[in-house]
Amino acid sequence: MKRFFKPVEKEGSSKKPSLSQPEKEEDVSLSNENKGEPSKFMTWNANSFLLRVKNNWPEFTKLVTSFDPDVIAVQEVRMPAAGSKGAPKNPGELKDDTNSSREEKQILMRALSSPPFANYRVWWSLADSKYAGTALIVKKCFQPKKIFFNLDRIASKHEPDGRVILAEFDTFRLLNTYAPNNGWKEEENSFPRRRKWDKRILEFVLQSSDKPLIWCGDLNVSHEEIDVSHPEFYSAAKQNGYVPPNKEDCGQPGFTLAERRRFGTILKEGKLIDAYRFLHKEKDMERGFSWSGNPIGKYRGKRMRIDYFTVSEQLKDRITACEMHGQGIELEGFYGSDHCPVTLELSQACPNSKQDEVSM
């Protein structure tokens, strides 16, 4: 989420991790490998997965080893889709038709072939360039029945910029999204794009009520004042002095009244529970935010909670933990990103629960 200007890390200048050669991808038989349903989840906007592998992988690997998630949802992968210049792209595969892209792909796949990630399978949904993109990393013993890359559940179709991965498990769906930033103006790629996105998310949620939903990712919105460190600062924020004509569109992207109200509507009409706020009722200035501003400049110490796990009401009683793994204004636990990982833990479903009786 880009809310300030900061120096761009040079992707070619960092040390490459010393990792083993990639293993050949296992031919996973879904019917034989599955051992129940996932119950431990992690979401993280990596702000360039490649840079995190190059610069922060040992620390992030330690977190993954410790928490041992069944599913890892990644946003802002920022790796280009396969396909040569001018040719149709394959958003489900990493680009490897040039020397530099082959090297970058190899770096990523080496990392994802080494412990603990060798026990997982990864799906990609990528943009044409190093922008946006999502990944879903799932333990091989918890493989989904189906994977879609769009909100319409159309086979092989990917959302623009690779913003969606939808996994169908036996008793629930998991939706990993990287919501588009609202921007600052009434322009094609700002307010209208975000309004359309929110409308489609609401439609998806309402049409998916036949099975419980876990919706996670960088949702690019702070629902309530408690979800930002400095509400007055964010409410009054402007870009170059511009004031939108609609008062509800004023303020920091992600904290405008319009976005917050639309998000509230999605939660209410979709019967979704904000898992973190369900467990943490009070404002936590140290560990209660998932995005932090640049430690240098006017955004120093300014933080927002824009990364979420929301779950259907049917799953509410199974929420046992939902935590932010970053803290403080020095970005401890952010692993090089401007977002920290967020985790969710559910208790195991009772064999005869209504959730398990929901039909496909």
Question: 302 near 233, Cβ under 8 Å?
Answer: yes
Per-residue confidence at 353, pLDDT binned at 50, 70, 90?
low
Task: Give buried/exposed letters for 272-283 (b at 16+ CB in 10 A, else e).
Answer: bbbbbbeebeee
**Given 70, 218, 227, 307, which residue is catalytic?**
218
Among all chains, which residue has been given the structure tokens 């929110």?
198
- Rounded mean pLDDT of 267-280? 98
Q: Stretch 310-331: mean pLDDT, rounded?
A: 96
pLDDT at 36 over 90: no
Name the most confidently modeled range: 33-42, 169-178, 294-303, 342-351.
169-178
Q: Determine whether 234 is an active site residue.
A: no
pLDDT over 60 (residue 5):
no
Which positions ≥6 away from 166 have C-beta within 8 Å? Answer: 147, 148, 149, 150, 151, 153, 173, 174, 175, 176
Q: What pLDDT, on a 0 to 100 scale, did the predictor assign at position 189?
A: 85
What is the dihedral angle through the alpha carbons of 349, 280, 274, 136, rounded to the nearest 10 degrees? -70
* Token pair recorded at residue 342: 């967020």
Q: At what angle do helices 99-112 and 49-67 cross, to 10 degrees?
A: 10
Q: Predicted confidence band at 96 (pLDDT cuts at 50, 70, 90)?
A: very high
pTM to 2 decimal places: 0.89
Structure confidence at residue 155 (pLDDT): 93
| Average pLDDT of the chain, as a whole number | 90
**Cα 29 versus chain centre, distance:** 27
- Among 70, 161, 178, 338, the active-site one is 178
Across 74-99, average pLDDT: 96
pLDDT at 305 over 50: yes
> What percent of the chain has a predicted confidence (pLDDT) above 90?
82
Query: What pLDDT sits at residue 18?
Result: 40
Structure tokens at 246: 């609609």
CB 219 within 8 A of CB 308: yes
Give residue 86's pLDDT. Answer: 86
More confident residue, 297 or 179: 179
Report the pLDDT averaged over residues 262-280. Answer: 98
Chain segment 170-185, per-residue pLDDT in tens: 999 999 999 999 999 9
pLDDT of residue 329: 86
Tabulate helix, strand, coil % of the chain (nearest 5): 30, 25, 50
Distances (CA, A) of 92 to 24, 106, 122, 197: 17, 16, 10, 21
Q: Average pLDDT, stretch 69-78?
A: 98
At 187 the pLDDT is: 85
pLDDT digits 0-9 by tens, 274-295: 999 999 999 999 999 999 988 7
Cis peptide before 144 (omega within 30 of 0): no
Distance in angstroms (rounded) separating the CA atoms of residues 147 and 149: 7
Q: Do residues 34 and 141 make contact, with C-beta atoms less than 8 angstroms apart?
A: yes
Mean of the pLDDT values across residues 61-88? 96
pLDDT at residue number 19 = 39
User: Pick the residue with more confidence: 216 or 296?
Assistant: 216
Amino acid letter for position 197:
W
pLDDT one-digit tens code per residue, 143-196: 999 999 999 999 999 999 999 999 999 999 999 999 999 999 988 889 999 999
321 in helix, strand or coil? strand
Nearest 10 degrees: CA dihedral of 180, 188, 3, 197?
A: -20
Catalytic, 276? Answer: no
Which of 352, 323, 331 shows the shortest CA–CA distance to 69? 323
Distance CA 292, CA 146 (A): 35
Q: Which two tokens stand for residue 78?
A: 């920022």
